[in-house]
Amino acid sequence: MAINLSIDYVNGRVTDGLQIGKRKSLLRSKAIRQSFPNTAVLTPNGDGVTWTLKEDFAWVSNDGTTVEVDAGLVTDFASIPPLNKFGLIAALGGHALSRLHWSGLLLMLSGLWVVWISDRLRPWGQYGKAAIIHDFLYRNHAFPRKRCDGYLREAMQDLQTPRWQRFLIYYGVRGGGWWAYRHEPPVKTA
C-alpha cells in the first residue's frame, strides 16, 4: 500500500490536512501559484526518512529561472539536525554550572532556546517545496552554492514561510551546506 503526500495550498492547508499557515491575502496566494505551478506528489520510502517525487515538479524564481525537477527524485526535505539532545545537555550543564558562576545561567538559557527552536523546525513544513528544489539544485550543481541557497530563501519567501524560519534555515545551509554540496551523490531516481 503506497502513501502519497501532495504538498499544495488548499484553503491554507496541505492537502493531507495538516495546517501550514493562513494565507495573508489573495494576491500573495496567486504569487504562490505562479512560482510553484504544480503540486509536489511524493511517496515515502522504506527507510522512514526519504521520500520519492512521483510527478514532475517545477518552480519559477523572480529572475525568471525555471527549475524543473523530474519525477523520481529522492529527497529528505530539509536536513535539519536533531538538536534536542545538545540543547538539553547544555541546559543541564548550565544549571549545574550556575551554582558556581552566573554565566551558567546563560548556558542554561541558550540550551533551552535550542530545544525550543529544534522542536519547531521539522524536516518538512511550510518550506517543504523549497527544500525539494534545494535538494535538486545541490545534487545537480546547476548553480554555484550561494545561488542555490539564495533560491532556497526566495522559494521559502514565496511559500510565506515565517521570517524566523527562513533566517535559521538559510543561515543553516550557508554555514553547514558546503559538505552536502561537495559530497552529495547525484540525483537518485527510484
Measured in degrees and rounded to the nearest 5, phi and psi for residue 124 equal -135, 145
For 66, the grid coordinates are 525555471
Average pLDDT over residues 1-29: 38
**140 inside domain:** yes
Residues 61-120 pLDDT 10s: 998 889 999 899 998 888 777 666 666 777 777 777 777 877 777 878 787 777 777 767
For 4, the grid coordinates are 502519497
Rounded to an integer, what is the distance from CA 14 to the centroid of its chain?
Answer: 15
* Same domain membership, residue 131 and residue 74: yes
Q: How confident is the model at residue 11 (pLDDT cuts 50, 70, 90)?
A: very low
Residue 4, pLDDT above cutoff 90: no
Q: How many domains does the chain have?
A: 2
* Same domain membership, residue 25 and residue 99: no
* Same domain membership, residue 126 and residue 105: no
pLDDT at residue 129 in the model: 93
* Same domain membership, residue 95 and residue 24: no
* Same domain membership, residue 74 and residue 167: yes
For 82, the grid coordinates are 536533531
**144 inside domain:** yes
* Same domain membership, residue 67 and residue 28: yes
Q: How confident is the model at residue 21 (pLDDT cuts 50, 70, 90)?
A: very low
Beta bridge partners of 57: 69
**125 inside domain:** yes
Residues 105-164 pLDDT 10s: 787 878 777 777 776 777 778 889 999 999 999 888 889 999 999 999 999 999 999 998
* Same domain membership, residue 94 and residue 57: no
pLDDT at residue 84 in the model: 64
**188 inside domain:** no
* Same domain membership, residue 104 and residue 11: no
- DSSP for 111-171 reads HHHHHHHHHH--SSSTTHHHHHHHHHHHHHT-S-HHHHHHHHHHHHHHTT--HHHHHHHHH
pLDDT at residue 23 in the model: 34
Domain boundaries, position 65? 5-80+121-183
Angle at 72 between CA 66 and CA 73, to 5 degrees: 60
* Same domain membership, residue 168 and residue 89: no
pLDDT at residue 32 in the model: 53
**116 inside domain:** no
Beta bridge partners of 43: 52
